[in-house]
Structure 1
């Protein structure tokens, strides 16, 4: 569900953000832009946040009187085990939204239960890097104990950084990771290879970079603004016997993009499954 630009909305309720690195920082920026009730950020590398929000370097420094509506886990996955015991008191009353890759709902719920928060509700989300400019795609999974209100709260929080969608089975998150989470890298590779090929065809490097990047971003923006199927958009660019058709005859050969991209996404999904814990 995307939201219309300029639509007035209620402020985001108080949050406990655990980890304010690239993704945590992108989310925080989106929340601040939309209006955020007084919240607390746990991050040892961040010095300040705008008032009335607070930042603390250590979990032991979390204010005893703070009552968040949601705990957002945006720390590195390998650091989660160390911080969960200090978050258990909050998780007894507030749901947990994890944006950590490779951490399952069950694994996190078990960790919270062991730390003294049995029955903690954990909702899992996979955002991608365009979230840093409010153009992200975040896909979420909520287990059966999650209430509609908790799902709505997570969607409200995540819509501040782009579009949101839900899957009904957690194992679908592996495919989401492979397509959406890793997907920006595929697009960046396309721009990189187009730039390199332009230079090989005699373009000045700066011009090759400019037109490759602008072509990729412009095509993406065009696709975003229409409901026309991507295959139809491709056909509209492809004149019979023209230059585009000649290029696509190479790219769409059976052993070219159709096979290699499918194999690449399969490999990424398999790795996501292996990393899940």
Structure 2
């Protein structure tokens, strides 16, 4: 994880959109010592502006053009379907100030973003996931050719506030990042639902089944991230020959779990490409 910059060295960051992801990033930045005065937020909903101001003491504005004043880093946290309109409103400022624009919108390419901001703009695509709301996310990053080393460092430092970051060299792979980690928490939630339901069918009280499934998933995730062993090794260590775990694993395998997961990730990847194509000029 990056070390926080000294307040005097830190760029002014403008958040365009003040929803949950922006709130998580702002909270992470402030917790790591960022100067609230150097964080600016554009959010059209007054109640969200008021909450951000009250919680983090950051300057908040109703319009994007006000928020980006003096900002070298723009974090675009608006819905994909309104991204083009928002960028169009900022084209003149982007061309004058040449910021690095960081987008957390799925399916919008760096070329599209740069073009919508007038062209030749440094763009970083970021795909965080919802555990970022708890400071436990992971973010895939891709930078276009206009992005210099300093801007890459600024982007990574900002997203590091909610979890580790990984750089992707080929932008096409960002759709796979979205499919694996961006959408991935929902896969885990679905597994938790299935485990809970199965436990209830075996006679467990619903609250007990929920607690057992949730804590088991948490513990397994900690083992995956904190132990220096890959998933297949950990799986084999808890699968005793002829035991209960082997009976369950064999059922998963014979039922085609691996193939089903592969099809699901492929479907999510292809959907990301469709969303990108739908936004083409």
- Normalised to the residue count of structure 2, the TM-score between the two structures is 0.90
- Counterpart among 29, 46, 49 of residue 47 in structure 1: 49
Cα offset for 1:10?
3.0
User: Does 2:107 match 1:105?
Assistant: no
Q: Aligned partners of 1:47, 1:163: CA distance in 2, in Å? A: 28
Assess if the C-alpha contact under 8 Å between 2:4 and 2:33 holds in 1.
Answer: no
After TM superposition, list the pairs within 5 Å mapping 1:87-236 onto structure 2: 87-92=90-95, 93-113=98-118, 118-236=119-237
Identify if the C-alpha distance between structure 1 residues 191 and 77 changes in structure 2 by more than 3 Å, giving closer, same or farther.
same
Match of 1:97, SS state, is strand
Q: Structure 1, residues 200-237: CA drift from partner, whole Å, max 9, x if none?
A: 00000110011111111111012111120110000111
| Equivalent position SS for 1:136 | coil
Question: Quick one: distance in 1 between partners of 2:147 and 2:4?
Answer: 27
Please report how far the alpha carbon of residue 86 of structure 1 lies from its aligned counterpart in structure 2 after TM superposition. Answer: 3.0
Are 1:251 and 1:257, in contact at CA under 8 Å, matched by a contact in 2? Answer: yes
Question: Aligned partners of 1:226, 1:162: CA distance in 2, in Å?
Answer: 18
1:10 aligns with 2:12: no
- Which structure has more helix as a fraction of its residues? 2
TM-score between both structures, scaled by the size of structure 1: 0.91
Alpha-carbon distance in 2 for matches of 1:100, 1:197: 36
Distance 1:138 1:148 in 2: 18
CA drift of 1:36 comes to 2.3
| Cα contact 1:95–1:150 (8 A) shared by 2 | yes
Aligned residues of 1:67 and 1:90 also touching (Cα < 8 A): no
Shift in Å at residue 19 of structure 1?
Answer: 0.7
How far 1:52 sits from its partner (Å)?
5.4
Q: What is aligned with 2:20?
A: 22
Q: Which runs of 5+ in 1 are unaligned?
A: none
Q: For this pair of structures, how many residues does the alignment match?
A: 266
User: How far, CA to CA, are the matches of 1:55 and 1:145 in structure 2?
Assistant: 29
- From 53, 68, 71, the equivalent of 2:71 is 68
Q: In angstroms, what is the RMSD of aligned CA positions? A: 1.7
Q: SS at 1:252's partner residue?
A: helix
Whole-Å separation in 2 of the counterparts to 1:9 and 1:148? 15
Q: For the residues of structure 1 that align with 2:206 and 2:57, how far apart are their CA atoms? A: 47
Which has the larger displacement, 46-55 or 228-237?
46-55
